[in-house]
Amino acid sequence: MPAEISTERVSATRRTGRFGRWPNWALGLLVAAFAVATIFGTAGDVSSLVLGFFALWIPAVVCWVAIAQGRSRRRDLYLMSAAVTVLAAGDTYFALATTGGVSLPHPSWADVGFLGFYPLMFAALVVLARRNIRGLASPIVLDSAVGSLGAAALLAVLLDPILKAAVAAPGSFSTTVAFAYPLGDVLLVAFFVGIAASHGTAIGPGWTLLVLGLAIFTAADIVSVSLHLNGLYVIGSPLDIGWPLSLALIASSVDREARLGSQPPRSTRALPEQTVPAIATAAGLIVLILGTQLKISPLAVVLAALTLALAAVPLVFRQRIRIADAHRQARTDELTGLPNRRALYADVPALLSANPHRTSALLLLDLDKFKEVNDSLGHDVGDLLLFQVAGRISGQLRTEDLFARVGGDEFVIFLDGSDSVRAEAVALKLRATLAQPFILAGISVQASASIGIAGYPDQGEDLTMLLRKADMAMYTAKATHSGHHVYRGTDDTHGEDRLHLLEELRLALVDDQLVMHYQPKIDLKTGDVCGVEALVRWNHPTRGLLQPDDFLGLVEESGLMHAMTEIVLRKALDQAATWTGQGRTLTMAVNMSPSSLIDTVLPERISAMLASRGLSPALLVLEITEDFLLSDRERARSILTRLQATGIRISIDDFGTGYSSLAYLRDLPIDELKLDKSFIIPMKDDPRATALVVSTIDMAHSLGLRMVAEGVEDTTAYSELIGFGCDVAQGFLMSHPVPAAELEDWFATRALDGSALGQVSG
């Protein structure tokens, strides 16, 4: 893949955890074994203690290993893992300290671990709610709040005896600790019911496990506190199975979510629209009715009243809520939850008019090569990337900065009250944060962005002009690979030229303006011409013959490389068929860009093109750069194996110029190496360059690979390469790349001269 966006498909072991699925099976077996030992064993025996220890700590280990292997940066998963760990520590202390029937004082150090679970889990659920709530409509958020309050009111009634007993316990600190448990359970239930209510059953398998684990934990905790306060709790009872089971479910949830990576919140709901508020309202009414007949907790009454009050809000303000929600949705990007183009055009002019004399800056950010992510990995992974990019950028901006997605992979940041110096500093910070790999459903994606900067009022006095200037600056940054660029007056011409050239390029692909030049390759053992390399040129109607450096960058940026590759292959294979028909059998080498190689049906398409012309696949050599091999080893192996299986030969172009190990030579299906001219040209003056060439030739032969030397420009280098055992040479000494007709003349002249080199052409 290109340097801007490279993908590394994480191995199957990483996608399911390095040890596969065994952590989940181990958790289940441990809990089952602990349950059997608890029910049928003797309380406090060694087997129960050992199994209990593992049943508590294995979930913690699973959590942290899942986070480490999934490279997750989600704070909610870290907090959940910490909650599981502190609870395991508290439970372990309690089990060890009470061995042999010893009683612990209340409170004890075990309470630190038990109570530590609540704030950590609350914090995790808050992070989860904040992460997902921006993608939800207002009525869904309101339903979530109603569900939380209704569940809390009902639970407060059930916990009323425990709350009263806790308050009646002697000692202020002991009372606080005793009261903290049922209160924590009430809040915990409110939290996870609210989150589940906001998503319905569409919450996903990972969070279904979490909700189930928290429900079991709460139930076990409530029963345990009740038994403790009445002096009925017995160590080793079936109740003790509840906590390891809840931890195992929470750990499985963390493991699954860490492997899946961050995903956009689901906006669809699986439950009918009025299910949650109806159940919550009924619960609130039941609590209030009970309050007229029985003496129940004031907390339960307050929670029930709040439930009914919130449930009534949609009835009283239904129209306003709908209008407000429709307005919010019209201004919000559905995928990222950011303001959209409509919001940008409404808010930025208001900010400019409110402070007409204050300097501001607008940044237009465009992901480099984003189209290749969509094409190679699918639009679902592309959406995940955009969602995570939005999250990372948001974390680097001030609350007063306006951040919007304006379409595709383009984002706009408006820095109110900032000059170009701060704008450049922000651009550098954003590019740095995007440079860290993204983990998307088991795939590591390396991304970068080009950022154009325009300042108010110097570069424009309204949003339209600022966007236009920032767009020009962004394309300058893309063309120069500088990462970011502040608009200058000269960018106007560059931008207009670029747009004009792009339109001409699109026309060139349709009007057959691309032409092929061919450079011969000489077999150094026989002196015969063994093949040619096909090189594309653009026969521009007004600018003349353009070299690849003049237009290939624009082809890549505009997403036209697939179309150009099709044309180049067709023209090259047509010429190969012509020569074959004349009795001249030559291999045809064609350069393949990384963006062309991500086409999953490429092997089948090329095979069909060869078959339609009656050509042997062995005549086609695909030259591939090291960048593609290094950035996505698994994808490279897959596509190259399929290509080689058809009989096509694979050559590594510009070999030696990449910054890499040589491991891919062992792992990937390769037929030849093409040593870059930067090693060949210095040979006559640099003994070290000569030594590198010799060792590379020897290495290639030891691996069963053929060695091609390009850039041969003098007879000394040609002779030395023969002596070194190099297989093939090409370069200006033999011929420049020329049209097929001129190469025919070169063949004829060479045959008359009887020279191994022939006549220098061009």
pLDDT digits (tens, 9 = 90+) for 136-161: 555 555 666 666 666 667 667 766 66
pLDDT given for residue 735 in this prediction: 93
Beta strands of 368-513 (E only): which ranges?
402-407, 410-415, 438-440, 443-446, 449-456, 484-486
The token pair that represents 26 in the structure block: 């181990």
User: What distance in Å separates the CA atoms of residue 77 and residue 260, rounded to the nearest whole number?
Assistant: 12
pLDDT band at 659 (very low <50, low <70, confident <90, very high): very low
Q: What is the helix (H) or strand (E) element at residue 366, kind and residue range?
A: strand 360-367
Contact (CB, 8 A) for 104 and 94: yes
Q: Is the pLDDT higher at 39 or at 183?
A: 183
When divided into structural domains, the chain yields a total of 3
pLDDT at 526 over 50: yes
User: What distance in Å separates the CA atoms of residue 664 and residue 630, rounded to the nearest whole number?
Assistant: 8
Q: Pick the closest to residue 518 from 614, 589, 610 (CA basis).
A: 589
Question: Looking at the domain assignment, is residue 22 inside a domain?
Answer: yes
Q: In what order do the strands lie in the sheet with 360-367?
A: 402-407, 410-415, 360-367, 449-456, 484-486
- The percent helix, strand, coil of the chain (3-state, each to 5) is 60, 15, 25
Contact (CB, 8 A) for 649 and 621: yes
- Pick from 489-503, 644-658, 672-686: least confident: 489-503
Q: What is the helix (H) or strand (E) element at residue 701, kind and residue range?
A: helix 687-702
Contact (CB, 8 A) for 466 and 460: yes
The token pair that represents 748 in the structure block: 């004829």
- Pick from 192-201, 408-417, 475-484, 563-572: least confident: 192-201
User: What distance in Å separates the CA atoms of residue 225 and residue 172, rounded to the nearest whole number?
Assistant: 18
Q: What one-character-per-residue DSSP string does 120-144 give?
A: HHHHHHHHHHHHHHTTS-HHHHHHH
Question: Looking at the domain assignment, is residue 621 inside a domain?
Answer: yes
Give yes or no: residues 443 and 571 share one domain.
no
Question: Looking at the domain assignment, is residue 762 inside a domain?
Answer: no
- Pick from 406-410, 591-595, 734-738: least confident: 591-595
Give yes or no: residues 672 and 563 share one domain.
yes
Q: Pick the closest to residue 294 from 178, 414, 161 (CA basis).
A: 161
Give yes or no: residues 730 and 710 share one domain.
yes
Winning range, highest mean pLDDT, from 47-51, 127-131, 545-549: 545-549
Domain boundary among the residues 322, 353, 388 is at 322
Question: Looking at the domain assignment, is residue 1 inside a domain?
Answer: no
pLDDT digits (tens, 9 = 90+) for 158-210: 666 666 665 555 544 555 565 576 667 767 776 666 665 555 444 455 667 88
466-467-468 Cα angle (round to 5): 90
Contact (CB, 8 A) for 625 and 645: no
How many other CB atoms are found less than 10 A from the CB of residue 325?
A: 16
- Give the residue carrying structure tokens 């909700």: 211
- Give the residue carrying structure tokens 């860009």: 593
pLDDT at 285 over 70: yes
pLDDT digits (tens, 9 = 90+) for 101-122: 566 666 677 778 888 888 898 8
Burial tier of 614 (Cβ tally within 10 Å: 0-12, 13-18, 19+): exposed
For the chain, percent of residues with pLDDT exceeding 90 = 26
**CA atoms 461, 465, 467, 469: torsion sign:** negative
- Pick from 13-17, 424-428, 472-476: least confident: 13-17
Give the rounded distance of the alpha carbon of 318 from its chain centre.
39
Q: Pick the closest to residue 119 from 165, 86, 90 (CA basis).
A: 86
Give yes or no: residues 200 and 303 share one domain.
yes
Q: Is the pLDDT higher at 612 or at 146?
A: 612
Q: Pick the closest to residue 114 from 76, 88, 96, 95 (CA basis).
A: 88
pLDDT at 723 over 70: yes
Give the rounded distance of the alpha carbon of 576 from its chain centre.
42
pLDDT digits (tens, 9 = 90+) for 340-394: 988 898 899 988 888 888 899 999 999 987 877 776 677 788 888 898 899 889 8
Contact (CB, 8 A) for 562 and 595: yes
For the chain, percent of residues with pLDDT exceeding 70 = 70
- Give the residue carrying structure tokens 């009835």: 315
Give yes or no: residues 123 and 190 share one domain.
yes
Give yes or no: residues 597 and 735 share one domain.
yes
The three-state (H, E, C) secondary structure of 199-247, written as one string: HHHHHCHHHHHHHHHHHHHHHHHHHHHHHHHCCCCCCCCHHHHHHHHHH
Q: What's the average model confidence in pLDDT over 667-671?
A: 84
Give yes or no: residues 352 and 285 share one domain.
no
User: What distance in Å separates the CA atoms of residue 218 and residue 331, rounded to the nearest whole number?
Assistant: 40
Give yes or no: residues 341 and 247 share one domain.
no
Q: What is the CATH number of the domain that holds 400?
A: 3.30.70.270
Classify 292 as helix, strand or coil: helix
Give yes or no: residues 510 and 378 share one domain.
no
Question: Looking at the domain assignment, is residue 9 inside a domain?
Answer: no
The three-state (H, E, C) secondary structure of 487-530, written as one string: CCCCHHHHHHHHHHHHHHHHHHHHCCCEEEEEEEEEECCCCCEE
Classify 666 as helix, strand or coil: helix
Q: Pick the closest to residue 664 from 695, 637, 698 (CA basis).
A: 637
Q: What is the DSSP letter of 339?
A: B
Direct distance between the N- and C-terminal alpha carbons of the chain, in angstroms, rounded to an integer = 34
pLDDT band at 6 (very low <50, low <70, confident <90, very high): very low
pLDDT digits (tens, 9 = 90+) for 226-263: 776 666 766 667 777 777 888 888 888 888 777 665 55
pLDDT given for residue 695 in this prediction: 92
Contact (CB, 8 A) for 643 and 671: no
Q: What is the DSSP letter of 265?
A: P
Question: Looking at the domain assignment, is residue 4 inside a domain?
Answer: no
Domain boundary among the residues 442, 467, 489 is at 489
Q: What is the mean pLDDT of the chain?
A: 78
Question: Looking at the domain assignment, is residue 5 inside a domain?
Answer: no
What are the residues whose beta carbons fall under 8 Å from the beta carbon of 650, sequence distance 6 or more?
621, 622, 624, 640, 643, 644, 669, 670, 671, 672
Domain boundaries, position 390: 332-489
Domain boundary among the residues 463, 489, 515 is at 489
Question: Looking at the domain assignment, is residue 128 inside a domain?
Answer: yes
Give yes or no: residues 185 and 246 share one domain.
yes
User: What distance in Å separates the CA atoms of residue 93 and residue 90, rounded to the nearest whole number?
Assistant: 5
User: What distance in Å separates the CA atoms of residue 707 and residue 631, rounded to the nearest whole number?
Assistant: 23
Q: Is the pLDDT higher at 489 or at 704?
A: 704
Contact (CB, 8 A) for 474 and 366: yes
pLDDT band at 705 (very low <50, low <70, confident <90, very high): very high
Give yes or no: residues 450 and 317 share one domain.
no
Q: What is the CATH number of the domain that holds 621?
A: 3.20.20.450
* 664-669 own/partner pairs: CB under 8 Å, 24+ apart: 664/626, 664/629, 664/630, 664/633, 664/636, 665/703, 665/705, 666/703, 667/633, 667/637, 668/629, 668/633, 668/636, 668/637, 668/640, 669/637, 669/640, 669/641, 669/644
pLDDT given for residue 267 in this prediction: 44
Q: What's the average model confidence in pLDDT over 514-538?
A: 95
Contact (CB, 8 A) for 586 and 744: no
pLDDT at 296 over 70: yes
* Backbone φ, ψ for residue 329 (5° rounding): -65, -35
Q: Is the pLDDT higher at 467 or at 379?
A: 467
User: What distance in Å separates the CA atoms of residue 372 and residue 370, rounded to the nearest whole number?
Assistant: 5
* Bridge partner residues of 449 (DSSP): 367
Q: Is the pLDDT higher at 515 or at 760?
A: 515
Give yes or no: residues 428 and 540 share one domain.
no
pLDDT band at 697 (very low <50, low <70, confident <90, very high): very high
